[in-house]
Structures are given as structure tokens and as C-alpha cells.
Amino acid sequence: MSDAERTFVMVKPDGVQRGLIGEIISRFEERGLKLVGAKFTQISEELAHEHYGEHEGKPFFDGLVEFITAGPVMAMVWEGQDATRQVRTMMGATDPAESAPGTIRGDFGLDLGRNVIHGSDHADEGANVREIDLFFDEDELQDYERIDETWLYE
């Protein structure tokens, strides 16, 4: 797939605790995205500070760090044409109250601070790459062709 893009996605501790990892992975697979990296991990405080660095100094920063380090997360890299935009659309608005039914946050989220999932922002490709690099070494990402790719793209 020549126009493939990779994007970072994380099921946050609330999504893990609620048993939503499988449902979320299924939704992305059913959409046609390809999972190229996955890691079930506990985020350290140091990694949380790096991940949320652009929010440091803001009133909600400490709460973000506390929450994301409170339990394990499922970090993933998905691949496909326009993958970041596809994922962002499927996730729904950051605030679950503003997310449409059928989106991940619209179906599973109730609270802005517990919105189940994180995905890289399409507006900043550099941030997407940075997030992938924070969580994965290059040798942890797989290059392979899915059998259905010829049916997904022209």
C-alpha cells in the first residue's frame, strides 16, 4: 500500500479497566486499518511527562499524568490510507458528550477526563511520529501485507 500512513492510538486506563481493548481493536480492523504494533504497558511518570509535555504548566497537567499512570494502557500503531484522520473520526470528539453515537467515545465515554482512548492529531504529523517513537522501537513495528488490502483501496 503506497499511500499508507501510520498513527498512534492508546486505550487509556479507563478503557482497559472496562474491558474495551478487544472491542476497540475490532472496530479498527473492521474499518480496514492494519495493526502494525501493539504493547500492553504501564506508563511511567517520566514517559507520561514526555507524552503530555505540551500541556505542562496547565492546571490539568498533574491530573493527566496521574490518570495515565494509574493503570496499564494498550499502546498501538495502526496503518492505512489517511489512517490518522480515519482513527480520529472513529474516536469521536474529545468530550464524549459531544461525540456522535457510533464513535468510540460516543458509545463508551461519559466524562471528558475519562474518555477511553487517545489518538494522534492529524493536524500535526510530527506529533504523530513523536508519539509512535515514544512508545515503540522501529523493530517493534511490523511490515506486512494483509490479504484484503487489494479489496480496500483502489
The CATH number that applies at residue 9 is 3.30.70.141
E strand spans, 12-148: 34-41, 73-81, 117-119
> Is residue 49 flagged as an active site residue?
no
Q: What are phi and psi of 2, to 5 degrees?
A: -75, -30
pLDDT tens, residue order, the chain (154 aa): 568 899 999 999 999 999 999 999 999 999 999 999 999 999 999 999 999 988 999 999 999 999 999 999 999 999 999 999 999 999 999 999 999 999 999 999 999 889 999 999 876 677 789 999 999 999 999 999 999 998 998 8
Q: Tell me if 149 is assigned to some domain.
A: no
Q: Which of 49, 51, 55, 118 is catalytic?
A: 118
Q: Tell me if 148 is assigned to some domain.
A: no
Query: What domain count does the chain have?
Result: 1
Binding-site entries for ATP: 12, 60, 88, 94, 105, 115
Domain that holds residue 127: 4-139
Q: Tell me if 53 is assigned to some domain.
A: yes
Three cell numbers, residue 133: 517513537
Q: Tell me if 153 is assigned to some domain.
A: no
